């Protein structure tokens, strides 16, 4: 627009070449204004976080790892050290993409400002199942161990890890498809010399007892047991198998047992894992 205004002014001056000079001057002015707008615009690393979607609607694995980290911080204590731990993990695992992800969802402020964003995010209910299922689907056992190691690091960064915090981390471990051996391996690394229910002296006994009932009490690995656990006959159609799995997983999801105490939650988590293992066995046998 400015270039044409300049050309019009040049035309009315009746000077030779004034139209061209006015056009060029207006064009240069447009470029200068555009440049100022670009410079003034906030870069991506300083933008404020967008309005959040529901936790489970994000498709990226980065988001689901981040979700679990926020859940752990919410369970433990809000401290800037936990933000530093998140930043380090995302930078090491995802590089530039990890830094950009955190900038998009936590903003480009300092650690205290990012912690304020996490506090706001944590006010919402955080379902664990979608994110744990994403880990199971997208990562092998070694990668999931790395994520769990990171979550333990986040918990430790918030201060002393309480027994209730360990109960929470154990629940995530089981939902992510890992064994209690994995949980107690991490426990020995992060809570060495601990007293109480999760003391060193109890670790070996707890591992043995939990492994005996983690999945084996409900599912022994055979095809017939897999069908029995889902409550269907081996002649069931593929669609009937999927429907039975969804119903069983819904009925025994640990979050449905929160009001019944830790023992009920732990038992539901074991059966939930067995149900998933049984479904995977059937899918493998049927080539689904």
Query: Per-residue confidence of the chain (288 residues) as pLDDT tens digits?
Result: 555 565 556 555 655 555 556 556 666 766 666 654 444 444 444 445 444 555 556 678 999 999 999 999 999 888 888 899 999 999 998 888 888 988 888 887 788 888 899 988 888 888 898 899 899 888 888 899 999 999 999 998 877 788 888 899 999 999 998 888 788 888 888 877 666 666 654 554 444 444 444 445 455 667 777 887 777 888 888 898 888 888 888 877 777 777 777 777 777 777 788 888 888 888 888 887
Residue 126: phi, psi to the nearest 5? -115, 100
CA-closest candidate to residue 121, choices 66, 163, 168, 162: 66
Q: What does the DSSP 8-state code read for residue 218?
A: T
Q: How far is CA 258 from CA 38, 140, 205, 269, in A?
A: 51, 29, 25, 11
Pseudo-torsion of CA 52, 55, 61, 66, nearest 10°? 80
The conformational region for residue 232 under phi > 0 = left, psi -120 to 50 = alpha, else beta, is beta
The pLDDT of residue 24: 67
Rounded-to-integer distance, Cα 189 and Cα 197, Å? 16
Query: Residue 44 burial by CB count (10 A; 0-12/13-18/19+): exposed, middle or buried?
Result: exposed
The pLDDT of residue 69: 94
């Amino acid at each position: 627009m400015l270039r044409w205004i300049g050309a019009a002014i040049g035309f009315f001056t009746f000077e030779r070449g004034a139209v061209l000079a006015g056009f060029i001057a207006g064009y240069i002015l447009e470029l200068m204004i555009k440049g100022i707008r670009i410079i003034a615009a906030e870069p991506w690393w300083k933008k404020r976080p967008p309005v959040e979607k529901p936790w489970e609607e994000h498709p990226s694995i980065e988001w689901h790892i981040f979700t679990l980290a926020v859940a752990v911080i919410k369970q433990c204590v809000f401290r800037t050290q936990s933000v530093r731990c998140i930043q380090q993990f995302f930078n090491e695992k995802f590089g530039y993409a990890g830094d950009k992800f955190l900038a998009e969802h936590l903003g480009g402020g300092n650690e205290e400002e990012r912690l304020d964003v996490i506090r706001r995010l944590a006010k919402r209910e955080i379902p664990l199942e979608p994110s744990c299922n994403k880990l199971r689907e997208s990562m092998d056992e070694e990668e999931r161990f790395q994520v769990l190691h990171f979550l333990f690091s986040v918990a430790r960064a918030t201060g002393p890890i309480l027994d209730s915090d360990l109960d929470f981390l154990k629940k995530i471990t089981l939902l992510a498809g890992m064994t209690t051996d994995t949980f107690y391996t991490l426990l020995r690394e992060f809570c060495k010399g601990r007293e109480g229910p999760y003391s060193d002296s109890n670790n070996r006994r707890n591992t043995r007892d939990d492994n005996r009932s983690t999945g084996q009490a409900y599912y022994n690995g055979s095809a017939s047991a897999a069908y029995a656990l889902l409550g269907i006959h081996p002649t069931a159609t593929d669609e009937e198998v999927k429907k039975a799995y969804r119903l069983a997983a819904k009925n025994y999801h640990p979050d449905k047992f929160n009001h019944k105490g830790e023992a009920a939650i732990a038992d539901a988590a074991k059966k939930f894992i067995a149900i998933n293992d049984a479904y995977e066995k059937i899918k493998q046998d049927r080539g689904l």
